[in-house]
Amino acid sequence: MPTRPRLHAPRTAPLTFAVRLLLIGVLFCASGCQLPALIGAIAQNEEYQSKKEVLARYPGLEGKIVAVLVNADLAVQYDYPQATPGIAYGISGALATHANCKVIHPDLVTAWQYRTPNWHAMAYGDMADSLNADRVVYVDLLEYRLTPPGNRFNWEGVAQATVSVLERDGFDPDTFADSFTVTAEFPKVPELTQYEATADQITRGLQQTFVQQVTWLFFDHIEPKYPDKYRPELDPDVNH
């Protein structure tokens, strides 16, 4: 088996060094009793911005023909009609770019779903045969919402799904080769009101976050070491 090329987390950028110099100036102006706390805060914040290499949890898409199939209940489709197509496009594009596989265009998969109204009842192996796909990434949306239950005034986006893989050439093509639970939340700002952000902004942010977490299952990547503490706006390697 060929050795996987290792990824490397970005080095500290010159901008970070300049910020350090500025902070050193602040330190000289601070009283002696404040120095340990300030130094500790700087070190802690830098650690929160650190990244790590994570290997694919399922690397078996490489070199395969892949179909991305997104399923949601009727309530989600009615309340958020752009949820399933947006997620399907996002996952398909990311896998085609990063997972070294050929992805069937999501419009063709959607057309297949409409032509095959009983696809939910099909055996998984028959599903892969009908799509003519070596692998099917099956995303079963369990929850998708932009606001808290019973509260239409605040934003609290959540997308949760079971992400499974069908292998047409697997030992048993009628069972999932692997399954994962993925939960994405956006925004991370508590009690953000509808006066402070639009539905389009929350939708884009939630879908981007969800798509990233789903597709990271399938290829080696660099991700924040502390995702709950990481601040992308302070990262010089992120396109703002």
Alpha carbon distance 213, 190 (integer Å): 21
**How many CA atoms within 13 Å lie on the side-chain side of 110?**
12
Q: How many residues does the chain have?
A: 240
Helix (H) or strand (E) holding 67: strand 65-71
What value does the mean pLDDT take over residues 146-169?
96
In tens, the pLDDT along 19-40 reads 554 555 555 555 555 666 666 6
Range with the lowest mean pLDDT among 47-56, 133-142, 173-182? 47-56
Extents of the domains making up the chain: 14-54, 65-219
In tens, the pLDDT along 199-227 reads 999 999 999 999 999 999 999 988 887 77
State pTM to two decimals: 0.79
**Helices 83-98 + 199-215 axis angle, to 10:** 40
Structure tokens at 10: 């970005």
What value does the mean pLDDT take over residues 169-185?
96
Nearest to 214 by CA among 109, 66, 43, 17: 66
Enter the CATH code of domain 65-219.
Answer: 3.40.50.10610
